Amino acid sequence: MKAVMIVFSQAHTERVEYMFSRLAIKGFTFWENVQGEGSKTGEPHRGTHTWPDMNSSVLTVIEDDKVQDLLIAVRKLDNRNKEAGIRAFVWNVEQTV
Amino acid sequence: MAIYKTAINKPITTALIFVAVIVFGVFSFSKLPIDQFPKMDIPYVSIMTTYPGANGSEIETNVTKVLENSLNSVDGLKEITSQSKDNMSIITLQLNWGSNIDESVNDVRSAIDMAINNLPDGCSRPMIFKLSTSMIPVLQYAITANESYPGLDKILEDNVVNVLKRIEGIGNISLSGAPERYIYIDLDQNKLDAYNLSVEQVGQAVGANNLNLASGSVKMGKEQYQLRVQSEYVESSEINDIVVANRGGKSVFVKDLATVRDSLRDITIDEKINGRNGVRLVIMKQTGANTVQITRDVHKAMVEIEKTLPPDIKFQIIYDGGENIQNSINGLSEAVMFAFLFVILIVLVFLGKWRAMFIIILSIPISLVTAFAYLSIVDSSLNIISLCSLTIAIGLVVDDAIVVLENITRHIERGASPREASIYGTNEVWVSIIATTMVIVAVFLPLTMLGGQAGIFFKEMGWIVTICIIISALVAIALTPMLSSIMLKTKKVIINAKGEIEEVSTRSGFYERTAMKWLAALDKWYAGRLHWCLNHKLITSIAAFVIMILGFLPVIMGGLGVNFMAEQDNGQLTATIELQRGTRVEETMKAARAIEADFFKIAPEIELISSSTGTSDDAGFSSLMSKANNNTISMTIRFPNKSKRERTVFQIAEDLRTYLKDRADVINYSVSTGGMMGGQQSNVAVEVYGYDFEATNRLTEELKHKIADVEGARNITVSREEDRAELQINFDKEKLARSGMTSAQVSMAIRSRVNGFAAGFLKEDGDEYDIVVRLKEEFRNSITDIEEMTLQAPTGALIKVKELATVQEFWSPPTIEHKRRQRVVTISVSPSGVSLLELANSIKAVVKETEIPQGVLINVGGTYEDQMEMSRDMGTLMMLIILLVYIVMASQFESFAKPFIIILGSIPFAFAGAFVALYITGTDLEMVGMLGLILLVGIVVKNGIVLVDYINLMRDRGYELNEAIALSGESRLRPVLMTALTAILGMVPMALSTAEGSEMWVPLGIVVIGGLTFATIVTLVVVPVLYAAMSRHGERDKEAELRKTFIFFDQTLSEEDRKEIEKV
């Protein structure tokens, strides 16, 4: 089991939802209105007057073999619009109840 | 913070706010008067102008036309009608209902001021009359007496009228047909001639000897006395010994010339109660006084008064306005109470929990008492309209609370605590509660904008229902969650022996075993049927369409009557019977007795007939109101209460009409069944406009005969009176001048001889009785007698009438009537056994095939016209309401198309059901029935929303279309049934009511019950099927469109990207 955390500009919300439904990923936890800045490229998403954009983030715990597909999908989405910004991070899951 | 959260957090504040609302409402209720209808100004203003000496056509051109032209510009004028008759012009302005009469009267006054200079000299200043409700009697008694009859006038005046006048709110009290004491001095013309005396001389002698005069004062010693000449008659017999003149040294006494009769006034009007001598006591109220209270007070006072009167004087009620109102109101109050009970039962059957029921039922009294507060604020009353509105509201106000409570219960059953469940549960549904409330408001608020007489009724209804429903929505999102959070209990759980958690079922028992089981079975059964229908959409749609067509069949075939307002059986008939013109009053009375006796035979149910024959005065104020003549009999016939007889007054009226038709001496008759408000009956009026009397008379006669053959045409009356026989005395002006007299003098003199010379009064016990000197009857009842009358010239010479004039029999021209400033004759026909619309159509057909001469115009109007106008208004209103409802629904569903599912899937079926119900019960579609149709739109749309909203929800939750529909159907069946059943059963007491006046509201009950039953059953099938049919196509498109929008998913990643990802 892996945990994938995807952080994306709010502009991508519907696309991310579509992505999940296409990949048949059911379980997730979703945070709305999170702030952040990319390490290399992209504008800050801070919800301020200067940087009004905001991010959302979703954390999903999935089977190992699905991670590839998800990451591919994320990249496809990123390709579609570099400006908006989407990043995915993968962890190992030690235990679940 | 949301209102429901505040309410739940502050239960005491919330509770007390609603307690305050209840207290305010109850306080208002205790102050509300009871009345029949909402307060309204009767929008009629009459203008009466006298022009002595002018005949009808002179009055028409010189007075009526001049005034009409000027008055035509009055604001808010609907129709102008007038009558021009000898000496008098009466113009009646009908203004729009609901307009400010005081303002209009001011307009009328200035219009008259503008025209006044163009009126002929000698014409009186026009008088303006405002018709007010205080002119309509509230109570009428028939008083009969035997031995006391001759003195009845004085007995009643002293003991009854004066006592009753003390009661608060009583306006005018009048005695009609009371015998008046008169002292007649009947002179012999021959003896007068022999002694060379005139009527005037006798009169003056009698008057001159009847004096009490102060004649100064006399001082005697220390005292001073007033001097009085005391020569008034103490007894009428004294008149016999008055000396009129001296002839040949001998005194001529009155007794030598005349007989003195101390008697009752000669009959010109004759009042009989059940054929016995009697008097009618008519009581009117002050404007704005409480009718019910007044009649109650009068009855109470009457009991006391009767004890003080001689035992042969008997009182019987002819008409009791208070009782009629009280009966109607009692009947409706009963309906309200039963509706309340039925709603409680429904809620109990569907929810099965006392606490839940209590919470829901509480919304009824709270919403309803606000209606009382409204009524009190706008100065209205408890009347038929307001109580009808309350009955309607009862079925509607529980719905919101039910939706909220149902959802809260669902959350509690899923394990939430009552407090949380109340917050989440309310949060989920409050938007849709606002939406359904908006639908009802969208239906009822436009009612307040309707004009005309119907507008006055519907305004109150619109506001009451709107207010009740808004308050009920507030109750549902504030009080209901608050009470739920406190009163509802969570499911009890225990740890059982095995150490596991176990639910303790608190809901076992009778309810679980019966109602619950049946309802569950019903849900299952319905879901099964719905599945079948969804799989056979075409068959279902066709079947539904056929059913709808069948429902509309009565309307298409014309089998459904349309009426303005139902005639009410309030146990009273009025009959007007006209004998041959010129019949003297004594002959008419004989005919009246015979007719009465026959009426009792034809209708043994009759309790009382009060008939009056002739007119009370030759030219009094009353002639403005009635057209009574010596040859007319008017009867008021009273029956026992509706429940105590088998035949309705309508059937009896029909029998009486058949009888009168066969009576040879009856020229014209009409038997009307009381109707509402001053007896205005629904009729079709054929108005024949045209200047030429000949042409219009001929056409009218022709039409009258043709219409008499039309089926269902009754009481055919023609407004233009036939020419009236008159005797004219034509003086030769030259001879008149030679004798030294003027026309004015001779006409006065003749009046003294025929009608009487007023010679003062006989005073007794503070009352005055007229002394009248005139010729004995045998000297004034033929043309020769009139010619032989002796007049006294100023010179003292006595001249016979025949020396100066000729007396001729003559036909006087009729009263000239105008409508819309044109000469008109109206043939008025009332329907019997057919609806007004049918009658109007057959009459129109008759008019069409009649040849109409040039210059004559025909219009078919009457209440039929008002009805068409109302139907048009209602139609417009219906469109407006449907549009508003569409707006609410479209915004609720956020879709242009989905509202059509409901509009097409339920409204036509509701109407079809209503029409079928009307057809089966043989009821006409009336004003209230149309209101019922409008009301139906509200309820069925509400039910449709409940269903469609839930289907939408299920679809959003990802269920497959058919599955979503079936699931929603199963889950929403109970709320839909509950709303429908509360509304249906709320109306049942109204539809079944047989109370007096129930004819008025029964159609409303029938329409709502029929329409709603039909619509609910069909809606539960058709709406889901339509939803499926409309969605299927769109949904497939939606998926394709989604793919197109999120095209990014279909791109192929570059090798670089792929490698980077696979690195992990």
Distances (CA, A) of B42 to B101, B139, B458, B600: 8, 20, 17, 36
Residue of B1042, B1049, B1058 with shortest CB distance to A73 = B1049
* Calpha distance A66→B72 (Å, rounded): 89
State whether A72 and B1048 contact (CB < 8 Å).
no
- Mean pLDDT value of segment B673-687: 64
Q: Which of the four pLDDT bands, split at 50, 70 and 90, describes residue A35?
A: very high
- Mean pLDDT value of segment B1017-1023: 85
B20, pLDDT greater than 90: yes
Q: Tell me A45's DSSP state.
A: B
B564, pLDDT greater than 70: no
- Mean pLDDT value of segment A84-92: 91
B1020, pLDDT greater than 50: yes
Residue of A15, A18, A90 with shortest CB distance to B1064 = A90
* Calpha distance B554→B1007 (Å, rounded): 14
Instruction: Tell me which of B101-115, B190-204, B948-962 is least confident.
Output: B948-962
pLDDT of B565 reads 66
Strand partners, B578: B632, B668
* Calpha distance B671→B634 (Å, rounded): 10
pLDDT of A7 reads 94
Nearest CA in chain A to B1058: A72
List CB contacts (< 8 A) between A72 and chain B.
Answer: 1053, 1058, 1061
pLDDT in tens, B388-415: 888 888 888 888 898 899 889 888 888 8
pLDDT of B1002 reads 86
How does DSSP assign A13-41, residue by residue? HHHHHHHHHHTT----EEEEEE-B--SSS
* Calpha distance B415→A31 (Å, rounded): 26
Checking ipTM against 0.85, whether it exceeds it is: no
Nearest CA in chain A to B1039: A18
A14 min Cα distance to partner chain B (Å): 9
pLDDT in tens, B50-88: 887 777 788 888 899 999 999 988 888 888 999 888 778
Distances (CA, A) of B874 to B370, B444, B447, B909: 28, 13, 9, 19
Secondary structure of residue B96 in the 3-state scheme: coil
CA count, 13 A, side-chain hemisphere, B327: 20
State whether A77 and B1051 contact (CB < 8 Å).
no
pLDDT of B615 reads 65
Residue at B365: amino acid letter: P
Distances (CA, A) of B768 to B151, B231, B646, B726, B764: 14, 16, 50, 34, 6
Handedness of CA B314, B318, B322, B325 (dihedral sign): positive
State whether B1051 and A76 contact (CB < 8 Å).
yes
pLDDT in tens, A12-31: 898 898 899 889 999 999 99
- Mean pLDDT value of segment B974-984: 86
- Mean pLDDT value of segment B1051-1056: 81
A41 compared with B491, residue with greater pLDDT:
A41
Q: Which residues of B touch A (CB under 8 A)?
A: 1042, 1046, 1048-1049, 1051, 1053, 1057-1058, 1060-1062, 1064
State whether B1058 and A71 contact (CB < 8 Å).
no
- Tell which of A14, A23, A65, A76 to mutate to test the B interface (max B CBs under 10 Å): A76
pLDDT of B665 reads 85
B1044 min Cα distance to partner chain A (Å): 12
State whether A18 and B1049 contact (CB < 8 Å).
yes
pLDDT of B677 reads 41
pLDDT in tens, B753-765: 887 888 888 888 8
Q: Which of the four pLDDT bands, split at 50, 70 and 90, describes residue B475?
A: very high
Secondary structure of residue B577 in the 3-state scheme: strand
Contact (Cβ atoms closer than 8 angstroms) between residue B809 and residue B727 = yes
- Mean pLDDT value of segment B311-317: 86
pLDDT of B563 reads 67
Contact (Cβ atoms closer than 8 angstroms) between residue B325 and residue B315 = no
Most confident of B6-15, B798-807, B959-968: B6-15
List CB contacts (< 8 A) between A83 and chain B.
Answer: none
pLDDT in tens, B870-883: 778 888 888 899 99
The closest of B980, B897, B972 to B941, measured between CA atoms, is: B980
* Calpha distance B63→B86 (Å, rounded): 12
B507, pLDDT greater than 80: no
Secondary structure of residue B635 in the 3-state scheme: strand
For residue B659 the two structure tokens come to 């009888």
- Mean pLDDT value of segment B691-718: 85
What sections of B617-767 are H helices per DSSP?
649-662, 693-708, 733-738, 743-754
Q: Which of the four pLDDT bands, split at 50, 70 and 90, describes residue B778?
A: confident
Thinking of the domain A2-26+48-92, which architecture would CATH place it in? 2-Layer Sandwich (3.30)
- Mean pLDDT value of segment B1009-1025: 88
- Mean pLDDT value of segment B963-969: 85
A47 min Cα distance to partner chain B (Å): 25
pLDDT of B616 reads 54
Contact (Cβ atoms closer than 8 angstroms) between residue B843 and residue B828 = no
Query: Cα B984 vs. chain centroid, distance in angstroms?
Result: 26
Question: Mean pLDDT score of chain B, rounded to an integer?
Answer: 84
Q: Which of the four pLDDT bands, split at 50, 70 and 90, describes residue B623?
A: very low
B617, pLDDT greater than 80: no
pLDDT of B1018 reads 82
* Calpha distance B44→B31 (Å, rounded): 30
pTM: 0.79
For residue B1010 the two structure tokens come to 């029929």
Q: Identify the H or E element spanning B418.
A: helix B418-444
pLDDT of B675 reads 47
Instruction: Tell me which of B185-199, B240-254, B323-337 is least confident.
Output: B323-337
State whether B1062 and A76 contact (CB < 8 Å).
no
Contact (Cβ atoms closer than 8 angstroms) between residue B239 and residue B260 = yes
Distances (CA, A) of B733 to B752, B788, B799, B812: 21, 19, 15, 22
Residue whose pair of structure tokens reads 């099964």 in the numeric block: B528
Q: Which of the four pLDDT bands, split at 50, 70 and 90, describes residue B1033?
A: low
State whether A75 and B1057 contact (CB < 8 Å).
yes
Contact (Cβ atoms closer than 8 angstroms) between residue B573 and residue B318 = no
pLDDT of B679 reads 42
pLDDT of B621 reads 41
Q: Is A41 on the interface with B (CB under 8 A)?
A: no
pLDDT of B7 reads 92
B619, pLDDT greater than 70: no
- Tell which of B1041, B1061, B1063 to mutate to test the A interface (max A CBs under 10 Å): B1061
B618, pLDDT greater than 60: no
How does DSSP assign B520-558, residue by residue? HHHHHHHHHHHHHHHHTHHHHHHHHHHHHHHHHHHHHTT
Do the strands B767-775 and B181-187 form a parallel or antiparallel pair, or are they unpaired?
parallel
pLDDT of B133 reads 66
- Mean pLDDT value of segment B784-810: 85
Most confident of B10-24, B498-512, B986-1000: B10-24
- Mean pLDDT value of segment B721-742: 80
Contact (Cβ atoms closer than 8 angstroms) between residue A30 and residue A10 = no
Residue at B255: amino acid letter: K
CB-neighbour burial class of residue B663 (10 A; exposed 0-12, middle 13-18, buried 19+): middle
- Mean pLDDT value of segment B160-174: 86
Region of residue B414 (phi > 0: left; psi between -120 and 50: alpha; otherwise: beta) = alpha
Residues listed for chain A = 97
B622, pLDDT greater than 70: no
First to last CA, chain A: 13
CB-neighbour burial class of residue B24 (10 A; exposed 0-12, middle 13-18, buried 19+): middle
pLDDT of B268 reads 66
* Calpha distance B351→B339 (Å, rounded): 18
List CB contacts (< 8 A) between A71 and chain B.
Answer: 1061, 1064
* Calpha distance A68→B752 (Å, rounded): 127
> C-alpha angle with apex B912: B911 to B913, nearest 5 degrees?
90
Q: Give the 3-state DSSP-derived string for B239-285, with helices as H, strands as E and coil as C.
A: HHHCEEEEECCEEEEHHHHEEEEEEECCCCEEEEECCEEEEEEEEEE
- Tell which of A21, A72, A81 to mutate to test the B interface (max B CBs under 10 Å): A72
Contact (Cβ atoms closer than 8 angstroms) between residue B105 and residue B249 = no
> C-alpha angle with apex B311: B305 to B316, nearest 5 degrees?
65
Contact (Cβ atoms closer than 8 angstroms) between residue B45 and residue B95 = yes
Query: Which residues touch B747 (CB under 8 Å, ≥6 apart)?
Result: none
B197, pLDDT greater than 50: yes
Above pLDDT 90, what percent of chain B? 11
Residue whose pair of structure tokens reads 């909203």 in the numeric block: B949
Q: What are phi and psi of A28, to 5 degrees?
A: -165, 160
